Chains A and B, each alone.
Chain A
Amino acid sequence: MTDTPCCVPEWRLIELFFQYLVAGLTYGTIYAIVGIGFNIIYNTTGIINFAQGEFVMLGGMTAVTLHAFLPLPLAILGAVLITMAVGGLIEIVFIRWLVKPSVLRMIIITIGISILVREAALMLWGEGVRSLPYFTGNEISALSFGGVRVSPQVLWSLGVCAIVVVLLNLFFKFTMLGREMRACATNRDAATLCGIPTRNMITLSFVLSAGIGALAGCVVSPITQTQYAIGSGLAIKGFTVAILGGLGNSMAAVAAGFILGILESFSIWVMPTAYKDAISISILLAMLFLRPSGLFGNREAFKLKDF
């Protein structure tokens, strides 16, 4: 072999800028799509479900297993439905029978559930790494926009993310069921007095967020790969962007996801990669100290909440 050519002959500054932007969008879409899931359970119960990452993992793992004998769309659909059932079951078994649980107690329970699900996944699937195939193209395909290269899977994630956010917003704002779910979070006693079956609403919120988590797990699986332990790592970032945007608001979580992803990506441009997570954690801490209601949250409303 003679001189080995590099395929990046001349990345001008502007192209490099967009390449980092694409990287940031890739990070952002992963964070955002995981972050959305946190908001649904929060919207009904007012708690953070720390098992949300496990729903993401379960969705990915189940889809990979189903894909062995089903076409991809059916495998994903099956995985979403199965994870929804698991989410509902978890709520019924662990949470439904609690009489007026405190926020702290619910949080500890969800942490316990996340450990349980993770260990069960380890027993069931082993420690191996799997992933779904790329929805279009394969591991090496990339679309080129004037020298800036982007994997088609990133576009898939962006698209799914956008659709989910729009649908969720419509659901929570304009449907009876969505409004009833929100009422549960604001004041459960009042909601019960208004005739809303609060218990069922909470079960429904677990089912819904499990489904969205599972969908996220399927869409990002070709990018991030799926393993029994991937949930907690994804959940930390998802949680960060949910807080950053302002809890309960899916649109805000997505915006915050992209802001964080892009910040991280550009931090790599100018600093050693090792600082990437330090940056996102600092941002989270600063936000918790200075503006706990989040970037887009309502300060007045936040003061009235337990958590």
Chain B
Amino acid sequence: MSIFTRLAAALTIVAAFIAPAMAADTIKVGAILAVTGPASFLGAPEAKTLEMLAADINAKGGVGGKKIELIIKDSQASPEKAISFAKQLIEEEKVFAIIGPSTSGETMAIKNLAEESKTLLLSCAAAEVIVKPVAKYVFKTPQMDRDAVIRIFEQMKKMNISKIGVLSSNTGFGKAGKEQIEKLAPEHGIQVLVSEVYDKAATDLTAEVTKVSAAKVQGIINWSIEPAQSICIKNARQVCSTVPVFQSHGFGNIQYVKAAGAAADGVIFPAGRLLVADSLSDKNPQKSILLSYKKAYEAKYAGEDVSTFGGHAYDAFMILTKAIKEAGADKEKVRTAIENMKGFVGTGGVFNFSAEDHNGLDKNAFEMLTVKDGKFVVLDK
């Protein structure tokens, strides 16, 4: 037996004694987030937010006297990795709850795992299918793509737009948005004249935009979370200078505005209120929480702007810890507490959960925003 194996054996024995002792006064919370990889601008701020919040709450003595032990796993937006991390967190770490994953595809991959093992899952991903049909242990904090589409259509009605063209990227997000647009258009009196899907890594979209413009549309919806959405806006302005361009809530990252430059001005899109926290009226119930999160995040991670995606993790963590505070560290009781939570003010909106609604947000969680001089501002009605 070498010295290393002996040492390892000794450590294992020590660990075996320590582990249960630690477990007694900590609550293990797992997080599966796309910290690096193609969805890193979702996962990275989410992970940073959780680290900030956990450190903060532990410094104040934890939840009900118990410290939060955060275990973050980087899934790189891969559903396969999400599955193996979920198994690891559930079976080996025996976590109390899991926050994440960042993307819809990953969440759907582990939805059943969470449900079967009765582990609370608070997803940070957008797609409606995560909570429809409702799974007993699965919740999500971002707003629904369906509600985003409804808000865009309502805005179009105000602007007398009824004939539109749709451009969407070939990803899960783009596909889900395209389906919602085509499904909801008839009941809002909107006619989709042309609908095109472009590659998420597209380098130029002049021909696509030409096709949409040639169909004589009155407005264009561009649904994507990739950088290519900025290229689309630029090409639309170059080919066809005045048709209003609408974007999804996936536009809510200031780097896309910077990438589109002057072409971004006047783009209309729905988003959570975090991006315009400063300009909200003082009566808005979300204002104080949005500003405090923004201030704390931007102070801790200097040089980085707060984004709605980190906000989704913020909401998940706050909802979980609030429920634990109310119900104690018991999974079943916490689950019921979340399901009965009403009027919880988060960054994504005011959450009202119920047995049928595990998202708790409605279309009012969105604000219609536009871009003015390279900045997000609330759209004047």
A residues within 8 Å of B by Cβ? 1-8, 11, 16, 19-20, 22-24, 26-27, 30, 122, 127-131, 133, 138-142, 149-151, 220, 223-225, 227, 229-230, 233-234, 264-265, 268-269, 272-274, 276-277
Residues in B neighbouring A4, C-beta threshold 8 A: 159-161, 218-219, 243-244
Are the CB atoms of A27 and B259 closer together than 8 Å? no
Size bracket, chain B contacts: 35 or more
Are the CB atoms of A140 and B227 closer together than 8 Å? no
Q: List 21 A-B contacts (CB under 8 A).
A: A7-B240, A8-B214, A8-B240, A19-B210, A24-B207, A127-B41, A133-B261, A139-B260, A140-B234, A142-B237, A142-B238, A142-B239, A223-B204, A224-B231, A225-B227, A230-B203, A265-B206, A268-B208, A268-B210, A269-B210, A273-B207
Closest CB-CB distance, A192 to chain B, in whole Å?
41
Which among B158, B197, B259, B261 is the interface contact of A273 at CB below 8 angstroms?
B197
Most buried by A among B196, B201, B217: B201
Residues in B neighbouring A139, C-beta threshold 8 A: 234, 237-238, 260-264
B170 within 8 A of A: yes
Most buried by B among A3, A230, A268, A274: A268
Closest CB-CB distance, A102 to chain B, in whole Å?
32
Are the CB atoms of B201 and A140 closer together than 8 Å? no
Residues in A neighbouring B207, C-beta threshold 8 A: 20, 23-24, 27, 264-265, 268-269, 273
Are the CB atoms of A128 and B160 closer together than 8 Å? no
B211 within 8 A of A: yes
CB nearest to B196 among chain A residues: A273
Are the CB atoms of B240 and A6 closer together than 8 Å? yes
B241 within 8 A of A: yes
Residues in A neighbouring B217, C-beta threshold 8 A: 6
Are the CB atoms of B203 and A234 closer together than 8 Å? yes
Distance between Cα atoms of A220 and B238 in the complex (Å)? 16
B188 within 8 A of A: no
Which among B158, B210, B243 is the interface contact of A23 at CB below 8 angstroms?
B210
Given contacts A19-B210, A26-B206, A27-B207, 11 further A-B pairs with CB under 8 A are A8-B216, A23-B206, A128-B41, A139-B237, A139-B261, A139-B262, A140-B237, A142-B239, A225-B230, A265-B207, A273-B198
CB nearest to A129 among chain B residues: B227
Distance between Cα atoms of A140 and B371 in the complex (Å)? 15
CB nearest to B242 among chain A residues: A7
B residues within 8 Å of A by Cβ? 36, 38, 40-41, 44, 158-161, 170, 196-199, 201, 203-204, 206-208, 210-211, 213-214, 216-219, 227, 230-231, 234, 237-244, 255-256, 259-264
Which among B44, B204, B243 is the interface contact of A26 at CB below 8 angstroms?
B204
Distance between Cα atoms of A18 and B41 in the complex (Å)? 38
Are the CB atoms of B208 and A273 closer together than 8 Å? yes
Are the CB atoms of B204 and A30 closer together than 8 Å? yes
Are the CB atoms of B242 and A6 closer together than 8 Å? yes
Distance between Cα atoms of A199 and B160 in the complex (Å)? 68
Are the CB atoms of B197 and A131 closer together than 8 Å? no
Distance between Cα atoms of A122 and B259 in the complex (Å)? 18
Are the CB atoms of B199 and A276 closer together than 8 Å? yes
Closest CB-CB distance, B274 to chain A, in whole Å?
19
Distance between Cα atoms of A229 and B41 in the complex (Å)? 14
Most buried by B among A11, A26, A272, A273: A273
Residues in A neighbouring B160, C-beta threshold 8 A: 1-4
Distance between Cα atoms of A151 and B209 in the complex (Å)? 13
Residues in B neighbouring A127, C-beta threshold 8 A: 36, 40-41, 44
Distance between Cα atoms of A27 and B198 in the complex (Å)? 14
Closest CB-CB distance, A129 to chain B, in whole Å?
4
Residues in B neighbouring A140, C-beta threshold 8 A: 234, 237-238, 241, 262-263
Most buried by B among A22, A149, A234: A149
Closest CB-CB distance, A190 to chain B, in whole Å?
41
Residues in A neighbouring B234, C-beta threshold 8 A: 139-140
Closest 5 CB pairs of A and B: A23-B207, A23-B206, A224-B203, A139-B263, A139-B261
Residues in B neighbouring A27, C-beta threshold 8 A: 203-204, 206-207
Are the CB atoms of A16 and B210 closer together than 8 Å? yes
Closest CB-CB distance, B177 to chain A, in whole Å?
15
Closest CB-CB distance, B259 to chain A, in whole Å?
5
Distance between Cα atoms of A128 and B230 in the complex (Å)? 13
